[in-house]
A and B are shown apart, each in its own frame.
Chain A
Amino acid sequence: MNERPTFTNEELTAFLDGEIDESLAQEIADALENDAELSARLQGLQIDSEQIRSAFDDLLDEAPSAPSALENVRPPRSFSHALPWQALAATALLCLFVGGGIGYFISVSKQETWRDYAATYHALYVNRTLAQIDQNADEAAVQLADVSTALGKTIDPAALSQNDQLDYKRAQILGFEGRPLVQLAFLSKLGAPIALCIMRAYNAADSDVRVNEMRGMSAASWTTGEFDYLLIGGSDKALIEKAARALKTRL
């Protein structure tokens, strides 16, 4: 009679959270294949943490204003303006989206993830932001080559124009915490602005497409080959999911 190792709920929890060393993770994974009781126990511990995170994000809007002691704080020295913080952010934002093709380092809270940051700024996009853009194939190729160099990954123009639901418009290099954040902008058939944002993700494991909502827009996130992706815009979850899966294989 062989001894089956028993795993504690704590170990199973750490397993679910990816906080366990590889050998124990492998032991658990192997045990799960044959042990129905263990599988049931694991199921009894499963929650949707993304759902929790999303539900709690709504609470951020409920926060009162910061204490007055923190108001009128001198803005970061990288922009030597005398403007109050809100106007500064708006000015920087304007430069970011009107300038096109040039990266600006925007000083935002380091505590936001890059996707939160990208979603916040994409929420400002309207159809008109992109509708007038009409690049020919050569212009688009040159722009994409530039962007590919900055990102460290070749983006094939053909991969972007294959989707009949998304009309590719332009590419930009933005910045997040001093690292390049690439934004590829599209318009959907309904005219909704949609962005594919890409950042280098060192030592990150590949992940499947995960669809959720950010800033009131449909969004899909995934990681492939040490790059993090975010496809965001509009409110058609099915469209975003389908487009995300297609882009995941093509890029």
Chain B
Amino acid sequence: MIGFFQIFVLAFAIFALSRVILRLREGQISQIETAFWFIIWTGISSLVFFPKPAIFISELLGIGRAADMMVYFAIILLFYMIFRIYVKTVTMDQRMTQLVREIAIQKGDNQAKKRNNKKTNTK
């Protein structure tokens, strides 16, 4: 039976996929990342309409309910993504520092050379 929850999840999945396609068109995400999100959202929609596979897997894994299994997998996936985002943030931070430092050294070098040239010209 199709209920409100299934319709809501399907509508949200379609909306999410439309954002993914937009980002792909703008070049902000790669084709592999698009495929990843496609699998996630179609997977979630499918399980909501056809829960039997999820129930089968949850029984196989010894987890009581399919919904609990979905939550556990979602948490694991979220933690992994947070870790990836953290690593990217740290790397970006380090690169920003490197850039700021190199600009400072280059400018300092140029100013020192200008000062030396002024001194030489004055002599």
A binds B: no
Q: B residues engaging A (CB < 8 A)?
A: none
